[in-house]
Amino acid sequence: MDRHPLRLGLSTLGLLAPLAVHAADVRFVRDGTLVKAVDVAALRAACTPTTVTVDDPNYRARKRYLACPLADILHFGFGTPADALGSADVFIRAWDGYDKPTDAAQLAEPGAYLAFGDADVSPGADLRWAPLGPRGIDPGPLYLVWTKPARTRPWPWQIAEFEVVDFRKKYPHVVPTGIARSAPAWQGFELFRGECIACHAINGEGGDVGPDLNVPRSIVEYRPVAQIKAYIRNPTTFRYGKMPAHPDLSDADLDALIAYFRAMSRAKHDPRRSR
């Protein structure tokens, strides 16, 4: 009998896979290897949530959540203290294909909480959520919230997975290699990585909430530059979709993004065609 917990967990998962993994499981993955998959109820029992009050930028309201410090969750999931993750990249993947690369050091900060339910709409032990936004999204089963100012911090909802993996290893064809570090395309890449890649792929690598912006055709090959910029700033003047507005991006930021798209249009790698 193999009683090693990790091996046991993996083989159990393998047996269950054909029946579909339960939608309320959260996965902790390191470099493509599953470290732990745990039921959300078990995760909750392992960390004993308390009530935290936050200024929620998604609800645009002051909210109270039943939540545990994210550092405790990461420690439980990966089996090492969160601050031991150092400067690693942690990808937070949601059920809808949103996959946000974040800095492990930022996630280990005090003030990051993983919420299990909305304290004001959960009367008893049964954790619930208030519908979010015009589409009435359910942010459960897990929602990352901060007791610190929201700006520049990620607030992903419907979290399904935490993966520790080097950004360049996971997304090698997104980086504008071969271009001078001082060029605007690099600045555009940094912006893209921070604000866009959670939803958009380049060369098949990235989130898939929105379209791939490089293959088969680059966005700069089929849309006028002025239109792309206007779209990024305020998509709802074109269509009522799922893309958020980016009013904070300066003209120079938008130029840098275009420079990045142009550079990548000359470095295409289409995983669907090369096979």
Contacting residues toward ligand HEC, per CB under 6 A: 195-196, 198-200, 209-211, 219, 228, 231-232, 235, 239, 241-244, 246, 257
Q: Which is nearer to ligand HEC, 183 or 225 (CB)?
A: 225
Residue nearest ligand HEC, Cβ-based: 241
Written as six digits, the tokens of 220 are: 């700069």
Q: Which is nearer to ligand HEC, 10 or 225 (CB)?
A: 225
Written as six digits, the tokens of 168 are: 């360049």
Task: State the Cα–Cα distance between residues 131 and 118, nearest whole angstrom.
Answer: 10
Q: Which is nearer to ligand HEC, 29 or 214 (CB)?
A: 214
Q: Which among 59, 58, 40, 24 is positioned nearest to 114, based on CA atoms?
A: 40
Q: How many CB atoms lie within 10 A of CB 34?
A: 16
**Count of positions (residues) in the chain:** 275
Task: State the Cα–Cα distance between residues 207 and 193, nearest whole angstrom.
Answer: 11
Q: 26 near 159, Cβ under 8 Å?
A: yes
Minimum distance, C-beta of residue 241 to ligand HEC, in the bound complex (Å): 2
Minimum distance, C-beta of residue 100 to ligand HEC, in the bound complex (Å): 9
Q: Which is nearer to ligand HEC, 28 or 261 (CB)?
A: 261
Q: Which is nearer to ligand HEC, 114 or 232 (CB)?
A: 232
Minimum distance, C-beta of residue 57 to ligand HEC, in the bound complex (Å): 13
Written as six digits, the tokens of 42 are: 């078990």
- What would you measure as the largest C-alpha separation in the chain, in angstroms? 64
Task: State the Cα–Cα distance between residues 67 and 103, nearest whole angstrom.
Answer: 21
Q: Which is nearer to ligand HEC, 82 or 202 (CB)?
A: 202
Rg of the chain over all Cα atoms, to the nearest angstrom: 20
Task: State the Cα–Cα distance between residues 29 and 116, nearest whole angstrom.
Answer: 20
Minimum distance, C-beta of residue 228 to ligand HEC, in the bound complex (Å): 5
Q: Which is nearer to ligand HEC, 35 or 201 (CB)?
A: 201
Task: State the Cα–Cα distance between residues 220 and 233, nearest whole angstrom.
Answer: 16
Written as six digits, the tokens of 246 are: 């980016």
Minimum distance, C-beta of residue 61 to ligand HEC, in the bound complex (Å): 20
